[in-house]
Structure 1
Amino acid sequence: MLIKLISLIAIFTLVKSSRDTGIYILILSVSQLLGNMTLWPYLPKIVNAPKIRNLNIFQHLKPSLALFVPQVAITVYLAVNKTMLWQLDSVTSSGYYDYSDKLIKLVLAIVTSTGTVMLPHIANLYAKKKIRQVKEYLYTSFDFVLSISIPMAFGIAALATALAPWFFGEKFTMVNKLLIIEAPVIVLIGLSNVIGQQFLLPTKQTKTYTISVVLGAVTNVVINIPLILKLGVAGAMTATLLSELVVTSFQLYKVRQKLKFKRLFRNFGIYFVAGICMFIPTYVLNITMRITTLSLIGQIVVGFSIYCGLLCILQPSIFENLAKLRKK
């Protein structure tokens, strides 16, 4: 996290124009290298050197391939999006799509971080046959993701008008519109991450998870062509949104008899109303104020304060869950 923060500061400080492409690439490369190197000193204390003759590679190959297929599907459909935009519209449109998607993915890293933490924990509980605890953790995690993904989606949409030119430069004002279209993806991927990474995979329902991802990829490819031809880059972004909706909807459908939807979406209305109330004043400030770093920070503070203030008034169950975690 520290390396990522330093690299982000370095990008904002050192990259000033298109002539600084080399510096930008160097920062990304060095940060990736240093990030991986910081893990090595801890490994000897945690991992023992394996004995080659005791390794049973083929025993783990099939389960690994089952997890590999969804990753291939995700990678392929993201690459196909850019390629189809380039072929059916223009290279410029492909660039707009890429920049918008990168900004959304930057926010998504926060939303989906719970999946990495919870997967081994829930897998351990499932192995011990503690199914009730698995579900309780899932309900809590689902509620937490809703509580942060909804304001983030509304926040990105509210700040989009000023955010893209400030973040990428004046030539990328088209990204404003794309950010607004793609913003709901933050919620959809957040929810599919909870169900997929924190329930389907730990409970050995890899097939369902794989089908959901492949179904989303196929949907994306099929609807991309007509939408790009009709709407251009906005069509490609709409296709991305619809494909993520398919993934999340399919996963919810498959777990409908194992999980209680009333528990999952218990506080959705509260977060949505608070998000709307946050969005309106933040958006008004965004389109009326001059674009500066200080004004953007001010808008974020205003939006955050409104959202948190409304949650304190409406009292969703996330406060109870946080109190329980503190006691533990």
Structure 2
Amino acid sequence: MSVAKNYVYNTLLQISNILIPFITIPYITRVLDPQGIGIVAYTNSIVQYFILLATLGMTLYGNRTIAYVRNDKKVLNKTFWELFFLKLFTSIISIFVYVFFVFTINSDYKIVYYIQLINLIAVVFDISYFFMGIEDFKKTSIRSITIKIISTILIFIIIKKPEDYVYYALISASGNFVGQFILWKYLPEYIKLEKVSKEKILYHLRNTIKLFIPMIAIQIYTVLDKTMIGILANESEVAFYDMSQRLVKMTLALVTSIGIVMLPKISNLISLNDNAKITYYARKVFDYITYASVFIMLMMIITMPTFVPIFFGRDFIKVKDIIMIISPIILFISWSNFFGIQLMVPMKLEKYLTLSVTIGAIVNFSLNYFLIPKYQSIGAAISTIIAEFLVTLVQIVIIRKYIKISEITKGIWKHFISGILVYGILYQVTKLNIESLEKIIIEVFLGLILYLTFEFILKSEINSLVVSKMISFMKIKKN
């Protein structure tokens, strides 16, 4: 399958990740109170550490490893089972440790902790890395979209009062489990059962640990925020922060989804020593993610004061301030995803990925410790921005030794100029005294038209490509 088709399937998944929460979140934030939502978010942040132990960086390592060997069916078959049995072993250990942890803690909501165990058990059956490695994104995307739709229906049927946050956690965890299990239906098309050697499993274990270390660091400044807010502040502040992160990362997924598609592609090109194509793809992708990130970041900053009260309700008004503060991570994470995941991982530069995210984790943890007690969720947002910026900066400094940065970044200044000009105009629109919904519609459509126009004036290559694709799509629909 082509990169374009895979990106379409993955983008459809990311769009569903945006549209479905747009349906469920306004309902959830009005039926459940901030404390209930915060309990689910906090317990989920705890189980994520055990999921990290169970996966040992398998999502990235498995994706890359399968991509390297996918042209040899015999090796592919053996490699899959080696990776599966490795993860089965680490998952069983993690499950036992988690059950012991929950059994020994003193908590008023142990039932939610036990429900989160379903997410950990789901790791055993997660073979999405295999289908990503062979670049078959259709199956993983359709599976995920179907499960999300079913989960949405269950939320509206079951959740009716504040105490139903327990069912909210159960629906989410069960959907994750069923989604992972479904992929096994398609596996016999590619793989047959085969014995594997203990030596090969140990070989993969050593290699996954190299990616496990940066995954720990990434977890510290992506999940530890919520854990620390829960400890140093309260569950309601966890809910505010969690909702802001969800909205920002829903839109961010539209940009970073290209990274999931490009990882196996770049890995395969590296195995073929095709440096010309690697540079070609790198330049195109970086231009696109910068182009898209600047526009999305701009729209988040402009629309949030009007959007948050409508979408989340008055009880979650603080989410507006958090999102406006944290929105620059859309650009920083897009860039770090490109340099770290799309380039460093395929090039087997894990030690430098580890260095960059470790610096980010240390900075994030340190700033959280001082800022959360005083500024609560706002303090966590400030810490995250600084950490993400440093991660990106370190990766740029390192990767320039391996690839010509000036060739990749050529022309991205046009996107920043366009963004600044659009912001200056839209800022005046925000002052207009008109209905909230009308204002959001005007801001989004005017922002899009202005951004495309300024990009056209500046002769942006990626803008020309996007516009031509949009025109082609409209012509097809018309016919």
* Band the TM-score falls in, shorter-chain normalisation: 0.7 to 0.9
Deviation at 1:191, TM superposition (A): 0.4
Give the AA of the match of 1:11: T
Task: Please state if 1:290 is matched with 2:304.
Answer: no
- Distance in 2 separating the partners of 1:25 and 1:10: 17
1:17 to 31, 35, 50: 31
On the 8 A contact 1:285/1:299 being kept in 2, the answer is yes
On the 8 A contact 2:259/2:338 being kept in 1, the answer is yes
RMSD of Structure 2 on Structure 1 (CA): 2.9
Task: Please state if 1:303 is matched with 2:452.
Answer: no
Q: Percent identity?
A: 28
1:143-166: CA deviation from partner (whole Å, max 9, x where unpaired): 111010111111111111022222
Decide whether aligned partners of structure 1 residues 67 and 287 sit closer, same or farther in structure 2, where only a CA change above 3 A counts.
farther
Task: Please state if 1:48 is matched with 2:191.
Answer: yes
SS in 2 for 1:204: coil
Partner residue in 2 for 1:180: 324
- Structure 2: gaps spanning 5 or more residues: 1-12, 33-160, 470-479
- Structure 1: gaps spanning 5 or more residues: none
Task: Please state if 1:214 is matched with 2:228.
Answer: no
Give the AA of the match of 2:429: L
2:260 to 112, 116, 121: 116
On the 8 A contact 1:282/1:300 being kept in 2, the answer is no
* TM-score, normalisation: structure 2: 0.61
Decide whether aligned partners of structure 1 residues 320 and 257 sit closer, same or farther in structure 2, where only a CA change above 3 A counts.
farther
Q: Structure 1 residues 259-268 or 166-175, which shifts more? A: 259-268
Partner residue in 1 for 2:241: 97
Give the AA of the match of 2:447: G
Task: Please state if 1:195 is matched with 2:339.
Answer: yes
- Distance in 2 separating the partners of 1:301 and 1:238: 30
Decide whether aligned partners of structure 1 residues 33 and 144 sit closer, same or farther in structure 2, where only a CA change above 3 A counts.
same
On the 8 A contact 2:17/2:250 being kept in 1, the answer is no
Deviation at 1:52, TM superposition (A): 1.9
Deviation at 1:92, TM superposition (A): 3.0
Deviation at 1:261, TM superposition (A): 3.1
Q: Structure 1 residues 147-156 or 136-145, which shifts more? A: 136-145
- Higher Rg of the two aligned structures: 2
On the 8 A contact 2:259/2:337 being kept in 1, the answer is yes
1:12-41: CA deviation from partner (whole Å, max 9, x where unpaired): 686453236557546645654564466444
Task: Please state if 1:233 is matched with 2:246.
Answer: no
1:245-264: CA deviation from partner (whole Å, max 9, x where unpaired): 11101100101223333333
- Distance in 2 separating the partners of 1:206 and 1:128: 20
Deviation at 1:269, TM superposition (A): 1.9
Decide whether aligned partners of structure 1 residues 324 and 172 sit closer, same or farther in structure 2, where only a CA change above 3 A counts.
closer
- Distance in 2 separating the partners of 1:133 and 1:268: 20
- Distance in 1 separating the partners of 2:177 and 2:252: 22
SS in 1 for 2:186: helix
- Distance in 2 separating the partners of 1:98 and 1:76: 15
Deviation at 1:320, TM superposition (A): 6.8
Decide whether aligned partners of structure 1 residues 145 and 35 sit closer, same or farther in structure 2, where only a CA change above 3 A counts.
same
Give the AA of the match of 1:312: F
Partner residue in 1 for 2:230: 86
On the 8 A contact 2:456/2:464 being kept in 1, the answer is no
SS in 1 for 2:436: coil
- Distance in 2 separating the partners of 1:5 and 1:244: 22
- Distance in 1 separating the partners of 2:271 and 2:321: 46
Give the AA of the match of 1:291: S
On the 8 A contact 1:11/1:27 being kept in 2, the answer is no
1:93-139: CA deviation from partner (whole Å, max 9, x where unpaired): 33222211111111121111111111111111111112232122112
Q: Structure 1 residues 68-77 or 186-195, which shifts more? A: 68-77
Deviation at 1:10, TM superposition (A): 4.9
On the 8 A contact 1:7/1:27 being kept in 2, the answer is no
